[in-house]
Homo-oligomer: A and B are copies of this chain.
Amino acid sequence: MPFEGRLPESTSSAALPRGFRAGAATMDIKASGRPDVAIVAVEAGLPDASVAAVFTSNALIAAPLLLSQQHLRALSPPGGGRHGWSRGVVCTAGCANAATGPDGLADQERIAKDFARGLGTDRERTLAMSTGVIGTRLPADRLGPEIAQLAREGLSDGPSALAAAAEAMCTTDSRAKSAAVDLTLPDRSGRPVPVTVSGIAKGVGMIHPQMATMLAILLTDADVDPMVLHGLLRPVAARTWDQLTVDGDTSTNDTVFLFASGASGSVPVRAGSPEGETLRDGIEAVARSLARQQAADGEGATTLITCQVSGATDDAAARAVARSVVASSLVKAAVHGRDPNWGRIAAAAGNARLARATVLEAAGLSVEEARRRAGAPVHLDPARLRIAICGRDVFDGIPLPFERAAVRALMDASEVIVRLDLGLGGGRGEAFGCDLTEAYVAENAEYTT
């Protein structure tokens, strides 16, 4: 059951693409006293960056998301608050500013006003994201001036600037998450110019398809129109963050922003062009790396679980099966115990349902087809199903004899790869999760997070 990658290699560096500045500071939102405010913004003197966004599918949308959607709509009404132009984003960590009612939105507006003043722009050209405890208020009166000052004086393009922002985004994360790829695109005269795609993200609980308490900021110096940028981001999110699960919960604050400064001097990227495909693959490589880092750092987790499915009737079905396997509490607990329990894997696969309509649309289905198929069970034929754990075949229509101790030893690793071939067609997809541990329970039983 081979499962080849088609994406460029990413590194875990946090290089800033040209045209961006970043910074972070400690403003005492987190009780721990660690850095808790991050800013990523366009370099002074350059025009606004184009931006595309993906927000939570939770019905209770947090104040920073409502504000960001308002701002994007104000400048680009046809985008429905999902793409537009922006000078930068401020991320506050330690307080989600969710379920805080009209007062919470007013707090976020106050912060946006000060942030815009610090950047020397209009409020509508700023974006916000936030993560942390639900139901507590941001100390907006105190934060506003401090954020204005950070925006005015604290941003740099130094080698550690984006890494510092990644660190400040974290809540229960045990480590900061970043990734980057280097690409080559032509400039207007056809000469190759280097283009960078970078990303930072935080996890690590309340994470489930589709989208989760996770925040990510992606940056590129490619030159891309907002609507084209959104067209690149949605299918990437469908193959990466929509396939990420830590605990089956979906948060009120999930946000991904993808900014493009155009500062590389590369040709404007058109929808459906070869340049668009190169850039999309670069964005996907960064997003996939961040999603895998988020899964590996799931609350209490010791092991990344990657499920790769081939032979499905189509990619949407393959992704649904992969997601169902990594979301199964019993599979997660079995991986924690290094138990090659293929029966639980088979049962989880048999439980797969196609994702909601918007995710199916992002995967390339028509609106009508996506609505028709959302929630439908995935067809499986037990007689054609094959399962391998860590490269060892354990089921092929019937249980296969295998050396249990050997597979247990292979599972004693930082990543366990489960492969399923459904034997029905050419559809392929993968999903990312982590083991379920006593530490997850202890962490979430003992603290309000």
Contacts and interface: CB of A to CB of B under 8 A. Distances in A.
Interface of A: 57-60, 96, 98-101, 103, 133-136, 205-206, 208, 247-252, 327-330, 333-334, 336-337, 339, 341-344, 346-354, 356-357, 374-380, 382-383, 385, 395, 397-399, 436-438, 440-448
Contacts of A248: 248, 327-329
Given A99-B395, A343-B98, A398-B100, A60 B441 contact: no
Given A101-B382, A249-B330, A440-B441, 18 more contacts: A59-B377, A59-B380, A99-B398, A100-B398, A100-B399, A135-B343, A135-B346, A206-B330, A206-B344, A208-B351, A249-B344, A329-B440, A334-B448, A337-B447, A374-B375, A375-B375, A436-B445, A437-B441
B399 A337 contact: no
A187 to B, nearest CB: 44
A324 to B, nearest CB: 9
A342 B438 contact: no
Question: Taking each of A133, A135, A252, A383, which has the highest tally of chain B beta carbons within 10 Å of its own beta carbon?
Answer: A135
A406 B352 CA distance: 41
Nearest to A252: B347
A313 to B, nearest CB: 12
16 contacts: A60-B346, A99-B346, A99-B398, A101-B397, A134-B344, A135-B395, A206-B347, A247-B329, A247-B330, A248-B248, A249-B328, A249-B351, A333-B441, A333-B443, A334-B444, A336-B441
A5 to B, nearest CB: 28
Contacts of A329: 247-249, 329, 440, 444
A404 to B, nearest CB: 9
A252 B348 CA distance: 9
Contacts of A334: 444-445, 448
A260 to B, nearest CB: 30
Contacts of A352: 59
* Residue from A336, A347, A399 whose CB has the most chain B CB atoms within 10 Å: A347
